[in-house]
Chains A and B, each alone.
Chain A
Amino acid sequence: MKASLAAGLAGLLFAVGLGLGGMTDPAKVVGFLDVAGAWDPSLAFVMAGALGSHALLRRLILRRRRPVLAPAFPTAGTTRVDARLVAGAALFGVGWGLAGYCPGPALVVLPVGGATVLLFVVGMVVGMGAFRWWESRLTARTQAQPG
């Protein structure tokens, strides 16, 4: 219960940051990506603020033995740069450029944004489901072929 409350407050603050930073305005996002047109650099400042503050705070936080409400900090995952990483990031970028929404801002806009963002989020969840299905089929096929 406490953990859910903490996570909910973190989500709320995250949303306010996205909104003040301009990430919830798709025209601003597309303006940032439009390097050949009237480039709007303001989102680079959002990124710098987020990156700088989180890099600093996480160093302080990781001096603790464990999180306040959880047993352990996340362990470092894979460091491999592979085709999946590159292809996934590439597809994500195309969708981001088309709509001007990445997952966080889309969920912030969802309760107040109307049909466009609703359909974007539906597409996003279906896309995530499709990935699960594709990956489970891939795993099943690999296991069916020994050696």
Chain B
Amino acid sequence: MNSYLLPLLGGVLIGVAASLLLLFNGRVAGISGILGGLLAPAPGEAGWRGAFLLGLAGGGVLLALVRPHAFGAPVVPGLGVAVVAGLLVGFGTRLGNGCTSGHGVCGLARGAGRSLVATLVFMATGALTVFVARHVVGGAP
């Protein structure tokens, strides 16, 4: 298949999944918000959040069975870096109130200026981090 057709199709499925959550549950499919709200859930909040996250993990198992090459090897240089990256992602997404899905998909889809700013900022610092890790520290040309 065309190398851009599959990413486009994957993206459409993500958009449809976010739409289903809105249609049935009246919720915004921001993953960091769904997970963060599960740490100390208000009454009635744990069920749908837990179910959505279980669905995500179940999707991982399904993909591993039918499309194992969807998972590449990790790129972090060590387990310590993986923990630090996780800490930054966890703290940062709660402070900034969203991640790639909440700001980058749902927020932009409703035309939120806040989400546009957030998306541009995390893309920029992400690109800068890769630049430093690969081309400054890592020595790639």
A residues in contact (CB < 8 Å) with B: 3-28, 30, 33-37, 41-43, 45-55, 57-58, 61, 64, 66-74, 76, 78-81, 84-104, 106-117, 119-132
Give 16 A-B contacts (CB < 8 Å), ordered by A residue. Answer: A7-B47, A11-B51, A15-B56, A19-B10, A33-B123, A36-B134, A51-B104, A91-B92, A93-B125, A95-B87, A97-B127, A98-B76, A99-B85, A108-B60, A120-B89, A124-B87
Evaluate contact between B114 and A79: CB separation under 8 angstroms.
yes
Let me know if A16 and B63 touch, CB within 8 A.
Answer: yes
Given the interface pairs A11-B51, A85-B114, A89-B92, the reply to whether A126 lies near B57 with Cβ below 8 Å is: no
What is the chain A residue whose CB lies nearest that of B46? Answer: A4
- Nearest 8 interchain pairs by C-beta: A15-B59, A88-B96, A123-B86, A49-B11, A127-B90, A11-B55, A21-B10, A97-B129
- In the bound assembly, the distance between CA atoms of A7 and B12 in angstroms comes to 18
Chain B contact-residue range equals 35 or more
B-side interface residues toward A, CB under 8 Å?
3-4, 6-29, 31-32, 35-36, 39-40, 47-64, 67, 70-76, 79, 81-97, 99-101, 103-106, 108-110, 112-114, 117-119, 121-131, 133-135, 140-141
Q: Which residues of A contact B76 (CB under 8 A)?
A: 26, 98-100, 116, 120
List chain B residues, Cβ under 8 A from A104. Answer: 31, 56, 99-101
A11 to B124, CA, bound (A): 28
Q: A11-B52, A16-B13, A116-B79 are in contact. Are A22 and B63 (CB under 8 A)?
A: no
Bound Cα distance A78, B11 (Å): 27
CB distance from A73 to the nearest CB of B (A): 5
Residues of B within 8 A of A21 (CB): 6-7, 9-11, 13-14
Name the contact of A94 in the complex, choosing from B39, B61, B118, B129 (C-beta under 8 A).
B129
Q: Kindly state the separation between the CA atoms of A87 and B72 in the bound complex, as whole angstroms.
A: 30
| B126 touching A17, Cβ below 8 Å | no
Q: Are A92 and B105 touching (Cβ within 8 A)?
A: no
